[in-house]
A = this chain, B = another copy of it.
């Protein structure tokens, strides 16, 4: 036993992360997840009530881990430094998850639990950035938080889709994003 849930719980969650991440919710089969986890199909249902609940659990684990890492990036730095660290973390996080694209796109709809959780995650993330911006005196901090996260999300797409987006490009992109957010594009016009 490695935790309160037991090894199988983790194995199933890991397998679900892999399979859902590769194929999305609807094209993933419980049988494949079970096989990948090295357990029987029925065992999945001992730990998770349904396919949807399993998906939600996978998402939850990923998002919580993300927020925990992000938390550290923002404290005890000035605005410029904080934004740069945040951008780097955001982009590198998804760079490492290139194989799990579908986790962020092909989610089950009609599932109130998941929808609520995802909105909660987005709200929490936004709040975290909003608070940082507010504490640094930025006006309309919530709008600015959303705008910065939006920029980074679009950069994330490039990372997930372009095979030739390498780790060094990630650093460069993060730097540009933070700079643009701080000074606007006019700064670069002659």
Contacts and interface: CB of A to CB of B under 8 A. Distances in A.
A76 interface: no
Contacts of A137: 189-190
A63 interface: no
Interface residues of A, number: 46
Q: Give chain A's interface secondary structure class.
A: helix
A149 B27 CA distance: 30
A188 B109 contact: no
Tally of this chain's copies: 4
B161 A154 contact: no
A109 B147 contact: no
Interface stretch (A30-38, A43-51, A99-107): A99-107
A144 B109 contact: no
Contacts of A152: 150
A105 B102 contact: no
Interface in A1-59: 23-24, 26-27
18 contacts: A26-B109, A106-B107, A136-B189, A137-B190, A139-B188, A140-B176, A140-B188, A146-B154, A146-B158, A147-B154, A147-B177, A150-B151, A150-B153, A150-B155, A182-B185, A182-B186, A183-B183, A183-B184
